[in-house]
Amino acid sequence: MATVPDITVPLRLLDLPRNLPARVAEVDWALLSPPEARRLRELGLDEGVEVALTRGPGMLGGPVACRIGRMTVALRRHVAGAIRVEQGG
Amino acid sequence: MNHTPLVAVAGNPNAGKSALFNALTGARQKVGNYPGVTVERHAGRMTLADGRPIELVDLPGAYSLDPSSLDEKVTRDVLLGNQAGERRPDAILIVVDAANLDNHLRFALQLIALGLPVVIALNMVDLAERDGLTLDPAVIERELGVPVVATVAVRRRGLEDLRARIGEAASRAAEAPGAHQVEHDIVALQRRARQIATAATLSETATRRWTHRIDSVVLHPVAGMAIFTALMLVMFQAVFTWSTIPADAIEAGIGALGDIVGGALPDGLIRSAIVDGVIAGVGSVVVFLPQILILFTFILILEATGYMVRAAFLMDRLMASVGLSGRAFIPLLSSFACAVPGIMATRTISDEKERLATILIAPLMTCSARLPVYTVIIAAFIPNTAILPGLGLQGLVMFGLYVAGIIGALIAALVLRRTVAKGASSGFMMEMPKYQWPRLGDVLLGLWQRAMIFLKRAGTIILVTTIILWALLTFPRAPEGQSQIEQSIAGRIGAGIEVLVAPIGFNRDISLALLPAMAAREVAVSSIATVYAIDDSESGAGETALRDNLRTRWSLPTALAFLMWFVFAPQCISTIAITRRETNGWKWPAFMVGYLFALAYIAAGITYWSAVAIGL
């Protein structure tokens, strides 16, 4: 995948092209409930961690699958929407 | 101190903890429960090279010592020495996935800070290598200051070394300060874990992992759903077709046993009790063992391969629409085998209200205990005309009953989540493990444990209820020329119930069967069989097959209403008991029994009167 768009401004993980590696720029923890935020941290999500979207929400708005470090994790849409990513993977 | 050292096996979910535990302890395991909670306690023994025994306890997988589910709470409480029924471990064996160090070392750091002697098993190093990851265990050992052993549990690599290190750690236990410090700063721990993981990584090539390739198909909205549907179809088809031969063999065996015992005993009450009561009653249930084992084989394999979480992913959208999450799919699928393990599996759902709703709808999944009832009634009343090649009317009716249960469950969840189990969705966040070949030994061990649970039930609850029912049907003895059934105690109770259920088309025989069927649904079949066996021997008609008896004594609308009743009715003491234990009181089991009986009554009534109206 050489002709992927440049990510210059932080993009939501939800909007990232499939399988394009990126780095977590910031997480809007306020959009998440406290248990959600804690579980997300426990799954290794943190600023600077490498992530990629491996399966988007689909037309029906189902969950998304993403890679966090070397782990694959299922998230609901709104969680993937709270994660901002930048180029570099 | 003279006691056997206790070593807790702890780690993240998907670290290969249970496989390592199985490899270390072999078949010398005991499965029990922690008092007060239904979290299973898996304990086993291993022997050190010098002959000293060590007791291992396999703790539920956790991400941290801040529990978000009942499972994780047990893990924390055992490690802190606060779990009732468990002494504080002398040492911890921490299992980490070599291919996921960033994450697993974080929990390891939190565990090391507890101050107990620790050994780390750097597990699944072979899979890490396959992923292009080369690690240096010595670096981790130096950074953490605790022994690290590279292992491959499924290939038994590194086990001797690991055993020796566990032995050393256990003997250091006496000197350990046992500080109860829990480090709660997840972010700080995570960053430290990442530093260590980076330092320990000798080389890392970006190989495209198998798991990603499979996921790109399996999670696809169209292809993935097609695969999921096909898998479910194959699974349920297998439950019915593969079980025919072993089930027929068991049935023939039971028939032969009845003949031999019947021939050996003199005619009279004892023979009637053993042949009509015990052998016919227990036998009619044991016949379903093959079906139950086939269903559990599929469930165990789906779990062991890592597919189950993908299925949960695919189901999340549907489940979200009724206020649940994909996580609820796993306990609900288990409930197709039996609601008891299904309800127990809900303990991984962290949200209390969501868990409650899942428990309340679990009995609507068509469990294997309903199969005997469905099979017997369908075989007697539904002609096996072919509709499509490979699909007969009987199969279609069976499928319809399953679907009725599922739709009923979805509607019930929707209503429950807006009323008694009201609450915002807790979301769906789940780690998707790497795909793995299931290990035959682990699947067989799981099947063996399930089979034993079922046979114990057949040998206890079902045995006792069939004997009681036989006695209730046999006494007091009817005077010459009068019906034994009507004169018996059961007949009088049945007559009382009949008043209630006559409006939905149920006859006396069904009324008689409903009470004992509370013990377990499948008892309905043996009860009706027992009723007719006694009736037939009274009237001198001889042994008429249950199927012929049903055909002559029941109308089609009654049979259909009876089937519908069993889709909804909460006729299972075990389910009610487990619900009481899981919800800590009688309130929710009482609610569950009430709403399900109401649904059953309404559904059976509608079915009966509709069938009568269209002239069936």
Q: Give the model's pLDDT for residue B193.
A: 92
Q: Give the model's pLDDT for residue B587.
A: 95
CA distances from B44 to B38, B100, B107 (A): 19, 27, 24
Q: What is the CATH classification number for the domain harbouring A34? A: 2.30.30.90
Q: Give the model's pLDDT for residue B207.
A: 57
Which residue is it, tokens 């399996």? B218
Confidence of residue A2 (pLDDT cuts 50, 70, 90): very low
Which range (A60-64, B260-264, B544-548) has the least confidence? B544-548
B572 closest CA partner among B560, B563, B561, B580: B580
Which residue is it, tokens 């009382």? B496
Tell me the pLDDT tens digit for each residue of B11-52.
Answer: 998 898 988 998 898 867 777 767 666 677 889 999 998 889
Residue B491: pLDDT above 90? no
Orientation of helix B307-321 relative to helix B289-305, angle to 10°:
100
- Residue A4 placed within a domain: no
Q: Give the model's pLDDT for residue B36.
A: 63
| DSSP codes of every residue in B160-188 | HHHHHHHHHHHHHGGG----------HHH
Residues with Cβ < 8 Å from B545, sequence gap 6 or more? none
Residue B225: pLDDT above 90? yes
What does the alpha-carbon distance between residue A16 and residue A88 come to, in Å, rounded to a whole number? 13
A78's tokens: 């709104």
Tell me the pLDDT tens digit for each residue of B410-453.
Answer: 999 999 999 998 887 778 999 998 888 888 888 898 888 778 87
Which of helix, strand or coil describes residue A60? coil
Q: Give the model's pLDDT for residue B40.
A: 77
The answer to whether the beta carbons of residues B105 and B113 sit under 8 Å apart is no
Within a 10 A sphere around the Cβ of A75, how many other Cβ atoms? 28
What does the alpha-carbon distance between residue A85 and residue A70 come to, in Å, rounded to a whole number? 17
B94 closest CA partner among B146, B48, B138: B146
Q: Give the model's pLDDT for residue A89.
A: 55
B425 closest CA partner among B311, B312, B321, B330: B321
Q: C-alpha B387: how far from its chain's center?
A: 34
Phi, psi of B209 (to 5 degrees): -75, 150
β-pair partners for B55: B6, B45
Q: Considering only alpha carbons, which residue of chain A is nearest residue B320?
A: A62
What does the alpha-carbon distance between residue B427 and residue A32 come to, in Å, rounded to a whole number? 10
Which of helix, strand or coil describes residue B123? strand
B370's tokens: 């309903």
Domain of residue A36: give its range. 11-87
Domain of residue B103: give its range. 6-207
Q: Give the model's pLDDT for residue B286.
A: 77
Q: Give the model's pLDDT for residue B406.
A: 94
A56 closest CA partner among A75, A40, A37: A75
Residues with Cβ < 8 Å from B198, sequence gap 6 or more? none
Count of structural domains within chain A: 1
Residues of A with CB under 8 A from a CB of B: 33, 35-36, 38-44, 46, 49, 54-55, 58-63, 65, 67, 69-76, 78-79
Which range (B250-264, B433-447, B472-486, B500-514) has the least confidence? B472-486
What does the alpha-carbon distance between residue B323 and residue B318 come to, in Å, rounded to a whole number? 9
Nearest to B429 among A43, A55, A59 (CB): A43
The answer to whether the beta carbons of residues B125 and B192 sit under 8 Å apart is no
Q: What is the CATH classification number for the domain harbouring B157? A: 3.40.50.300
- Residue B428 placed within a domain: no
Which of helix, strand or coil describes residue B201? strand
The terminus-to-terminus CA distance of chain A in angstroms comes to 13
- Residue A18 placed within a domain: yes
Q: Give the model's pLDDT for residue B174.
A: 65
Alpha-carbon Rg for chain A in angstroms = 12
Tell me the pLDDT tens digit for each residue of B539-560.
Answer: 555 445 778 888 888 999 999 9
Residue B233: pLDDT above 50? yes
The answer to whether the beta carbons of residues B201 and B134 sit under 8 Å apart is yes
Orientation of helix B587-613 relative to helix B352-361, angle to 10°:
40
Within a 10 A sphere around the Cβ of B416, how many other Cβ atoms? 22
Name the percent of chain B lying above pLDDT 70: 94
- Calculate mean pLDDT across residues B571-582: 83
Average pLDDT of chain B is 86
Higher local confidence (pLDDT), B341 or B315: B315
Q: Give the model's pLDDT for residue B49.
A: 86
Phi, psi of B430 (to 5 degrees): -145, 140
Q: Which amino acid is at B541?
A: A
Q: Chain A contacts of B186, Cβ < 8 Å?
A: 38, 41-42
Which of helix, strand or coil describes residue B134? strand
CB contact under 8 A, B221 and A39: no
Q: Considering only alpha carbons, which residue of chain B is nearest residue A80?
A: B429
Q: Chain B contacts of A69, Cβ < 8 Å?
A: 100, 102-103
Q: Give the model's pLDDT for residue A65.
A: 95
Q: Give the model's pLDDT for residue B457.
A: 67
CB contact under 8 A, A65 and B64: no
ipTM for the whole complex: 0.90
The answer to whether the beta carbons of residues B103 and A71 sit under 8 Å apart is yes
Residues with Cβ < 8 Å from B156, sequence gap 6 or more? B23
Q: Determine how β-strand B118-123 pairs with β-strand B148-150.
A: parallel
CA distances from B257 to B207, B232, B249 (A): 61, 36, 12
Range from B121-130, B247-256, B312-321, B440-449 that averages highest in pLDDT:
B312-321
Which range (B117-126, B185-194, B340-349, B511-520) has the least confidence? B511-520
Residue B149: pLDDT above 80? yes
B345 closest CA partner among B294, B290, B308: B308
Residue B280: pLDDT above 80? no
Q: Give the model's pLDDT for residue B610.
A: 96
Residues of B with CB under 8 A from a CB of A: 63-64, 66, 68, 99-100, 102-103, 106, 131, 133, 186-187, 190-191, 194, 211-212, 215-216, 219-221, 309, 312-314, 316-317, 320, 326, 350-351, 424, 426-432
- Calculate mean pLDDT across residues B207-230: 87
Q: Chain B contacts of A61, Cβ < 8 Å?
A: 317
- Calculate mean pLDDT across residues B349-367: 92
Give pTM, 2 decimals. Answer: 0.83
CA dihedral B328, B331, B332, B338 (to 10 degrees): -170
Higher local confidence (pLDDT), B206 or B312: B312
Residue A27: pLDDT above 70? yes
Orientation of helix B370-381 relative to helix B523-539, angle to 10°:
50
Which of helix, strand or coil describes residue B77? helix
Tell me the pLDDT tens digit for each residue of B369-387.
Answer: 888 789 889 989 998 888 7
Count of structural domains within chain B: 1
The answer to whether the beta carbons of residues A58 and B318 sit under 8 Å apart is no
Would you give the DSSP letter of residue B55?
E
- Residue B65 placed within a domain: yes
- Residue B220 placed within a domain: no
Q: Give the model's pLDDT for residue B130.
A: 81
Residue B84: pLDDT above 80? yes
A32 closest CA partner among A40, A43, A24, A22: A40
CA dihedral B560, B561, B562, B566 (to 10 degrees): 100
Which H helix or E strand runs over B460? none
CB contact under 8 A, A55 and B316: no
Q: C-alpha B5: how far from its chain's center?
A: 32
- Calculate mean pLDDT across residues B292-301: 87
- Residue A39 placed within a domain: yes
What does the alpha-carbon distance between residue B106 and residue B108 come to, in Å, rounded to a whole number? 5
Q: Chain A contacts of B66, Cβ < 8 Å?
A: 38
What does the alpha-carbon distance between residue B326 and residue B304 come to, in Å, rounded to a whole number? 18
Tell me the pLDDT tens digit for each residue of B445-484.
Answer: 888 877 887 777 667 766 777 778 778 878 888 787 777 7
Peptide bond into B476 cis (omega under 30): yes
Nearest to B68 among A39, A55, A72 (CB): A39
Q: Give the model's pLDDT for residue B426.
A: 74
CA dihedral B464, B470, B475, B481 (to 10 degrees): 180
Q: Give the model's pLDDT for residue B83.
A: 87
Higher local confidence (pLDDT), A7 or B525: B525
Q: Give the model's pLDDT for residue A1.
A: 46
CA dihedral B80, B84, B88, B93 (to 10 degrees): -80
Residues with Cβ < 8 Å from B48, sequence gap 6 or more? B54, B163, B164, B166, B167
Q: C-alpha B431: how far from its chain's center?
A: 21
